[in-house]
């Protein structure tokens, strides 16, 4: 089980991958006080093709540190993520709508959201404090974004300092708050010693509250020299006592939390003019949250000995009576018995005195959630030990809508799967519905809609409430010519085999379980053969699949391997080249039972395979391109003149054309662009007009074109975006728009070899975006029908066994509509002659009874035009013989068969 959605070690090791974002729902746009860099004059078309953009559905995948309900309008809620933007709840669809997909490449850091505030007086207004890192990793200062239409459009005020949505302490808060009586007044708690800030004009301008006495002093690790763990976590939350003001008049009593273990709570009783340390407060801890129950007059605090979100060994819960000044320790556990900190905190606005809290850093055996109906005097727990290791539960948990949340685990008691959560720093009871509660974890949002059952001794039902929120960081993407349309390499949750782009995959890659997959590849001529590498706490760091990623087996690895690096598969699957972290480049034949060191290429080089010649592999490092003609045993340096020596450099070979290589990358302060070689890297030609490029990939050729479609994440003609060329790079068309930019998209891009125009785009926090073209893409046409199909049949079928091994095989099937009417939903039936059994099928659903098999469309490929085709594949088992089916039927018609 991962302990972090954003592990620091992985972040430090791979920070060349900056940040990104996603799209679905209404597009959002920004109008900023700090204008975006002016675009240079350009002849590049930016609207020649209109694309439809969606997420490849995963549902969640990262840390959700904040959930905010509006207190004056039912069902209006927002969620913030640490690197993946902000979302608004859509009650009708029970899903989240992304709000920050407009954030551009130059301001990628604004995808990190450190705080959210929803205006109680005017629910149309919402604010977001954005910025990902407070150190040098983020090149831009933070900003406060303001929207007067619930996030459909935004204006921005850039701050004179940075904010840290992905910094230590990001689960504390909320740092941003709107005065519930005079909504033109906002406060913002700043990190890095910058103190408390205030706006009196609805977030347009900000000034430091000079009277506030304490900017904080706590850092996670003062000895860290990176600027990350040694940053002062600062002022961490602001809470108003709404009873001390009236409509249109500023609230007088304001409470502020500070990252200072001896002075963690301050109060103003004069609308922020003066401030003082709240007397009698608990010491030795940081107040992660401060929530005031206005009906009882109690200010509740959850405290931890660290700032989180991963750590915390001790904690307390405290209550302050605002009328009497009395403090009381209301912790549910004796201090000596506490092994985690407390953070998540919410009060029930419908039921005074009812509150809930979380033990956010209780990693084992699970997180803990506490509930009190008497202002913290007594507590009940989500689970309790009966006789160790057995536990009793006040909940049932159903993850069938996001089945990968089981992690494929089979733990022994006291652990169970799925886990209740980890990093549970956000928990909110719906202010209008005492039965609804949501809480964030390091991987998802969970919730319940029968919360009060807890109090009567029953079990609440906990399910994922995360649909629409996509928060994965994407390292690599491949789209094979058969099998699943997409395989992904993801940070923190490994990656998936995506057989249906609009459905949640059942499970991430396992055997081995890699915390982050850094690279994957398939054999171009044998797509059932797949290899992946990545980071893990222990060996192995590599896995192989012979069924297109459906199942995996672990392999051995060279000595000295510490991380995944990059990997490449020979075009026919006969061998592999691996450039792992910690040691040099190695090669193997077969499936990695033994590895030999490659010569002539430096350690740390990026490796790729030629997609036509199985003996040819390529490498690149520090401005020099390398080629191997002997399966990766030896490499020779080739081109080195004019190529980028630094930066994010990636290259790929074109399928079907030996020696055809495209290379993208560089740095803004040095060499930067896109290059093309047709002689296996002996020479490279720079592509004119492409000022910057960071990822390149290929997809099915356009109708009438002979060369594969090229996709790039690039800057062309002064415009940053996702571009497509259908004529070998001579001309480019921008296919995204300003509402769909997703911050940083430089890790990976690939087209689909089966669907013209379809493209898959990586982001660093907004998951996998896929786009469909309006000029002919979106339906898998397969290989097309025969020129003159025989007879009067309404269908023809091509059945091909693409791979076979002892006891198993893989087959591809193409169904062509040769009738006179388009299909809106299809089925295909056949009978196996030798007792074969279908194991797993992709791009179609199936059922089998004895020898009889029925395959039918999935959600996205049911419509098949006259003359068009649809393809699917499957793995199966056999014994004795593996004869192809003799006949196929669809729609009551016997189909003709094609070889």
Catalytic residue numbers read 82, 492
CA–CA distances in Å: residue 368 to residues 3, 172, 316: 15, 18, 14
- Kindly state the tokens that stand for 547: 């069924």
418 upstream amide cis, omega within 30 of 0 = yes
Closest to 26 measured CA to CA, from 125, 114, 101, 115:
101
3-state secondary structure of 335: helix
Six-digit token pair at 126?
């919402």
Torsion of CA 399, 403, 409, 415, to 10 degrees: -10
- Spatial distance between the Cα atoms of 405 and 417, rounded to a whole number of angstroms: 8
Distance between CA 711 and CA 725 in Å, rounded?
A: 7
> Distance between CA 219 and CA 762 in Å, rounded?
33
Structure tokens at 58: 């995963």
Tokens of 660: 């055809």
Measured between alpha carbons, how far is 84 from 64 in angstroms, rounded to an integer? Answer: 9
> What is the torsional sign of CA 353, 379, 364, 385?
negative
| C-alpha distances out from residue 778 to 69, 188, 839, 862, Å | 38, 45, 27, 11
d(CA 677, CA 682): 7
C-alpha span between 674 and 558 (Å, rounded) = 34
CA-based nearest residue to 748, from 626, 665, 858: 665
CB 713 within 8 A of CB 761: yes
Exposed e or buried b per residue across 142-167, where buried means at least 16 C-beta atoms within 10 angstroms of its C-beta: bbbbbbeebbbbbbbbbbebbbbbbb
How far apart are the C-alpha atoms of 875 and 867, rounded to whole Å? 27
Q: Which helix (H) or strand (E) holds 567?
A: strand 563-569
Residue 470 in contact with residue 408, Cβ under 8 Å?
no
* Burial grade of 567 (CB within 10 A; 0-12, 13-18, 19 or more): buried
Distance CA 198, CA 256 (A): 13
Cβ neighbours around 825 below 10 Å, total: 11
């Amino acid at each position: 089980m991962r302990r972090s959605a954003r592990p620091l070690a992985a972040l430090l090791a791979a920070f060349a991958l900056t940040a990104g974002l996603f799209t679905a729902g209404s597009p959002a746009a920004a109008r900023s006080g700090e204008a975006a860099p002016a675009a240079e004059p350009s002849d590049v078309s930016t609207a020649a093709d209109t694309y439809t953009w969606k997420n490849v559905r995963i549902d969640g995948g990262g840390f959700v540190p904040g959930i905010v309900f509006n207190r004056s309008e039912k069902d209006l809620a927002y969620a913030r993520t640490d690197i993946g933007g902000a979302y608004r709840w859509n009650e009708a669809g029970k899903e989240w709508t992304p709000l920050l997909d407009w954030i551009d490449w130059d301001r990628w850091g604004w995808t990190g959201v450190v705080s959210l505030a929803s205006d109680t007086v005017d629910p149309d207004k919402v604010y977001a404090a954005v910025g990902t890192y407070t150190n040098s990793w983020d090149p831009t200062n933070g900003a406060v974004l303001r929207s007067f239409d619930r996030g459909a459009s935004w204006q921005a005020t850039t701050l004179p300092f940075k904010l840290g949505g992905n910094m230590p302490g990001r689960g504390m808060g909320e740092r941003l708050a709107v005065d519930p009586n005079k909504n033109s007044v906002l406060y913002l708690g700043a990190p890095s010693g910058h103190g408390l800030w205030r706006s009196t004009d609805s977030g347009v301008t900000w000034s430091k509250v000079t009277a506030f006495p304490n900017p904080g002093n706590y850092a996670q690790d003062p000895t860290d020299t990176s600027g990350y763990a040694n940053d002062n976590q600062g002022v961490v939350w602001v809470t108003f006592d709404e009873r001390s003001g009236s409509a249109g008049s500023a609230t007088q009593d304001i409470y502020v939390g500070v990252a200072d273990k001896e002075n963690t709570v301050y109060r103003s009783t004069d609308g922020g003019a003066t401030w003082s340390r709240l007397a009698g407060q608990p010491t030795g801890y940081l107040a992660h949250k401060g929530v005031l129950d206005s009906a009882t007059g109690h200010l509740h605090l959850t405290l931890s000995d660290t700032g989180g979100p991963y750590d915390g060994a001790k904690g307390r819960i405290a209550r302050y009576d605002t009328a009497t000044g009395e403090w009381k320790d209301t912790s549910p556990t004796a201090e000596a018995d506490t092994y985690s900190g407390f953070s998540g905190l919410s009060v029930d606005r419908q039921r005074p005195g009812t509150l809930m809290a979380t033990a956010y850093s209780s990693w084992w055996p699970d997180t803990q959630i506490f509930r009190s109906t008497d202002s913290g005097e007594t507590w009940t727990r989500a689970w309790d030990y009966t006789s160790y290791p057995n536990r009793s539960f006040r909940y049932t948990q159903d993850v069938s809508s996001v089945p990968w949340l089981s992690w494929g685990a089979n733990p022994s008691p006291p652990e169970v799967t799925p886990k209740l959560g980890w990093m549970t720093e956000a928990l909110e009871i719906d202010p209008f519905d005492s039965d609804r509660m949501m809480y964030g974890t390091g991987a998802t949002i969970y919730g319940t809609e029968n919360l009060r059952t807890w109090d009567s001794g029953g079990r609440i039902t906990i399910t994922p409430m995360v649909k629409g929120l996509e928060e994965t960081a994407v390292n690599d993407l491949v789209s094979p010519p058969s099998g699943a349309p997409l395989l992904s390499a993801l940070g923190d949750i490994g990656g998936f085999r995506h057989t249906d782009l609009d459905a949640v995959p059942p499970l991430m890659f396992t055997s081995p379980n890699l915390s982050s997959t850094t690279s994957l590849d398939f054999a171009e001529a044998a797509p059932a053969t797949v290899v992946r590498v990545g980071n893990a706490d222990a060996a192995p760091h590599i896995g192989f699949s012979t069924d297109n990623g459906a199942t995996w087996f672990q392999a051995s690895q060279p000595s000295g391997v510490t991380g995944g690096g990059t990997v490449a598969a020979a075009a026919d699957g006969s061998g592999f080249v691996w450039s792992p972290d910690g040691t040099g480049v190695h090669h193997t034949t077969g499936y990695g039972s033994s590895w030999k060191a490659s010569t002539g290429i430096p350690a740390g080089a990026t490796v790729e395979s030629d997609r036509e010649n199985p003996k040819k592999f390529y490498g690149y490092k520090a401005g020099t391109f390398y080629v191997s003609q002997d399966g990766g045993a030896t490499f020779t340096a080739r081109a080195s003149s004019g190529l980028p020596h630094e930066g994010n450099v990636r290259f790929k070979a074109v399928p079907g054309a030996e020696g055809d290589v495209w290379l993208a990358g560089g740095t803004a302060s040095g060499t930067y662009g896109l290059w093309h070689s047709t002689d296996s890297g002996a020479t490279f030609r720079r592509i004119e007009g492409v000022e910057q490029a960071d990822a390149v990939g290929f997809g099915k050729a356009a109708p009438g074109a002979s060369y594969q479609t090229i996709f790039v994440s690039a800057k062309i003609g002064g415009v940053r975006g996702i571009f497509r060329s259908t004529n070998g790079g001579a001309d480019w068309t921008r296919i995204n728009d300003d509402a769909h930019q997703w911050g940083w998209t430089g890790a990976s891009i690939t087209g689909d070899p089966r669907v013209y125009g379809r493209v898959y785009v990586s982001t660093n926090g907004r998951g996998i975006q896929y786009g469909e073209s309006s000029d002919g893409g979106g339906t898998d046409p397969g290989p097309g029908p025969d020129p003159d199909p025989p007879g009067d049949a309404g269908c023809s079928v091509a059945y091909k066994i693409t791979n076979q091994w002892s006891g198993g095989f893989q087959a591809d099937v193409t169904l062509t509509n040769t009738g006179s009417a388009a299909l809106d939903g299809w089925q295909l039936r056949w009978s196996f002659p030798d007792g074969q059994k279908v194991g797993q099928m992709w791009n179609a659903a199936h059922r089998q009874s004895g020898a009889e098999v029925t395959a039918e469309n999935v959600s996205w490929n049911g419509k098949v035009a006259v003359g068009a085709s649809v393809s699917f594949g499957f793995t199966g088992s056999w014994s004795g013989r593996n004869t192809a089916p003799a006949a196929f039927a669809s729609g009551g018609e016997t189909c003709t068969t094609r070889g």
